[in-house]
Amino acid sequence: MLYKLATRKHIFVEIYIADICTCSKQAPFLLGSDFLLWHILICSIKMPEGPELHLASLYVNKMCDGVVFSGPVIKSEVSKNPEVAFTCDSFRITATSRGKEVKLTLTPMKSDDDGKRRSKGGQADQHMDIVFRFGMSGYFRFTSEDEVPKHAHLRFYTKEKPRRVLSFVDTRRFGSWQPNGTWQPDRGPCIMFEYKSFRENVLSHLSDRAFDRPICEVLLNQKYFNGIGNYLRAEILYRLNIPPFVCARDALEGLELEDEFEDGKPVKDEITDTKTPERAKKKGMKREAGDVLRLCHTVPLEVVSLGGKGYDPEKMDYSAFEAWLRCYYVDGMKSVRDHNGRTMWFKGDPGPMAPKDSKSPKTKKRAKKDDDHDYTEKKKVAKTMKESTTKKRVVKKETPKKEKPTHPKEVVSKRGKAEKTQEETQQSETKSSARKKKNSSVEAAAGRERRSGRVTRKNSK
């Protein structure tokens, strides 16, 4: 499977071969193709739920281990986020994550020069924390200087000769950062790495009006579920067969404050099950063992264990993650817009608090009075998903738009070779981005075997 992946993505492999060579010392525990694979997968993280934010922090720590950065931190012109006033001759970068936030720590290195204090940057001695939120499209990427991706809105440059760059990339610019920031105070404990306090925080506040809402909507409340996002809520509720629109308090009260869940074991079992579907799914029994709160912890950790292929339909290897999904965006599942307009994926009974009006996501804003049958199953539009590579030559110009007409400098450094590589990458993406409601019987095309396998497994249930 690993090799299949590597083969399919050979273009990408080539693109990053340079990075791998220069950075391989950072991951001595990984050898040869394993490192290659790790690198590839980790590079594909561009999506914002708890697991991906954590993987992003791992990525930064891995890639920047031993790397010396220097100079000012550069913000793109178009970004409305604050400038990062940090200039230092030599500093290191480390990262940590908590729920749906990542904190970068810039640490000045001990300069042996005695009297020579850095006159330039006043705060050269002081480390700085920058707290990031990823919005819908944020991710970190460490590249050579001329391979800085489009939409790299904050950049940290290395000190060495041919410089390299750690970039915060954010296509849609919904992401944000705060220099000298702290974890956002209103966000609860991390669902993955502060399980005990997360659990306590929820169970000790069940009288909060927030829990009057349907469970699926409360799961997106970062005050209590810091790290849960739209795909995770679907997967968690699906595994326990909890109707998404039951009152959250009803679903949560009665749970024990203490959960002697042992880290590692359940997660491991879970993974094993995934790899041996014939065993696990035989009797249609989903022995997930655990309540909602525990699954809010273990399910995200499964994604972390997948090794880096987080949610990212458009980019890179998506197949393993796609295969992991059992409900979100899966053929045969139902979907409804919740009260906040977010698509909730589920199976079976929607629950008593389901929105009465907006049935399917299609009926967003349109007064379209088309026949409103109940919660629409995902229609299987048997459309031949032929390789729509026809539009590949559409070299999009990527104009910085108006927003800052005076400074059309948004264009980072993408020209010549860099630009080409980008485009090649995108092309390979479009090919493998088979998502949507393709009928599984139709494809037969390459690159879908994993997903097909998953669907089959499901159906056989």
Partner DNA sequence: CGTCCACGTCTAC
Partner DNA sequence: TAGACCTGGACGG
Kindly indicate which of the ranges 60-68, 255-263, 364-372, 449-457 contains the residues binding DNA, using the contact rule CB under 7 A.
364-372
Positions 35 through 74 that interact with DNA (CB under 7 A): 46-49, 52
Query: Which residue in the set 10, 196, 282, 362 belongs to the binding site for DNA (CB under 7 A)?
Result: 362
Query: Which residue in the set 6, 58, 74, 136 belongs to the binding site for DNA (CB under 7 A)?
Result: 136
Q: How far apart are CA 128 and CA 125, in angstroms?
A: 10
343 scored as a contact of DNA (CB under 7 A): yes
Q: Which residues touch 433 (CB under 8 Å, ≥6 apart)?
A: 313, 314, 318
Q: Name which of 126 and 340 has its Cβ closer to DNA.
A: 340
Positions 367 through 426 that interact with DNA (CB under 7 A): 381, 383, 385, 388, 396, 398, 401, 403, 426
Q: Name which of 195 and 318 has its Cβ closer to DNA.
A: 318
Cβ 256 to DNA, closest distance in Å? 27
Query: Which residue in the set 436, 441, 446, 459 belongs to the binding site for DNA (CB under 7 A)?
Result: 436
Cβ 69 to DNA, closest distance in Å? 25
Q: In what order do the strands lie in the sheet with 74-75?
A: 74-75, 152-157, 164-170, 138-144
- Of the candidates 227, 235, 331, the one whose C-alpha atom is nearest the C-alpha of residue 286 is 235
Catalytic residue list: 48-49, 100
Q: How far apart are CA 102 and CA 129, in angstroms?
A: 10
Q: Name which of 121 and 149 has its Cβ closer to DNA.
A: 149
Cβ 162 to DNA, closest distance in Å? 26
- The SS3 of residue 177 is strand
Cβ 435 to DNA, closest distance in Å? 6
Q: In what order do the strands lie in the sheet with 69-72?
A: 69-72, 87-98, 101-108, 128-133, 176-179
Q: Which helix (H) or strand (E) holds 138?
A: strand 138-144
Cβ 12 to DNA, closest distance in Å? 15
Q: Name which of 28 and 405 has its Cβ closer to DNA.
A: 405
Query: Which residue in the set 334, 438, 448, 450 belongs to the binding site for DNA (CB under 7 A)?
Result: 438
Cβ 322 to DNA, closest distance in Å? 11
Q: How far apart are CA 340 and CA 333, in angstroms?
A: 20
How far CA 88 is from CA of 91, 117, 124, 142, in Å, comes to 6, 11, 5, 19
247 scored as a contact of DNA (CB under 7 A): no
How far CA 376 is from CA of 35, 133, 267, 362, 384, in Å, comes to 44, 34, 33, 10, 22
Cβ 133 to DNA, closest distance in Å? 5
- The helix, strand and coil proportions of the chain, stated in percent and rounded to the nearest 5, come to 35, 15, 50
What DSSP designation does 159 have?
Answer: S
Q: Name which of 184 and 413 has its Cβ closer to DNA.
A: 184
| Other CB atoms within 10 A of residue 250 CB | 15
x/- mask, DNA, residues 194-233, rule CB under 7 A, reads --------------------------x-x------xxx--
Q: How many alpha carbons fall within 13 Å on the CB side of residue 164?
A: 16
Cβ 251 to DNA, closest distance in Å? 19
162 scored as a contact of DNA (CB under 7 A): no
Q: How far apart are CA 383 and CA 439, in angstroms?
A: 8
Q: Name which of 144 and 343 has its Cβ closer to DNA.
A: 343
| Residue 379 tokens, joined | 């229609």
Query: Which residue in the set 209, 366, 369, 393 belongs to the binding site for DNA (CB under 7 A)?
Result: 366
Is 345 within 8 Å of 328 (Cβ atoms)? yes
Query: Which residue in the set 135, 179, 277, 332 belongs to the binding site for DNA (CB under 7 A)?
Result: 135
Q: How far apart are CA 230 and CA 206, in angstroms?
A: 22
Q: Name which of 87 and 426 has its Cβ closer to DNA.
A: 426
- The SS3 of residue 8 is helix
Is 361 within 8 Å of 335 (Cβ atoms)? yes
Q: How far apart are the first and last CA of the chain?
A: 24
Positions 282 through 321 that interact with DNA (CB under 7 A): 310-314
Q: Name which of 413 and 430 has its Cβ closer to DNA.
A: 430
Positions 139 through 158 that interact with DNA (CB under 7 A): 150-151
Q: Name which of 13 and 47 has its Cβ closer to DNA.
A: 47
Query: Which residue in the set 4, 163, 205, 339 belongs to the binding site for DNA (CB under 7 A)?
Result: 339
What is the Rg, in whole angstroms, of the alpha carbon atoms belonging to the chain? 23
> Where along the sequence are the contacts to DNA (CB under 7 A)?
46-49, 52, 78, 80, 100, 133-136, 150-151, 171-174, 176, 184, 220, 222, 229-231, 310-314, 339-343, 361-362, 364-366, 381, 383, 385, 388, 396, 398, 401, 403, 426, 429-430, 433, 435-436, 438
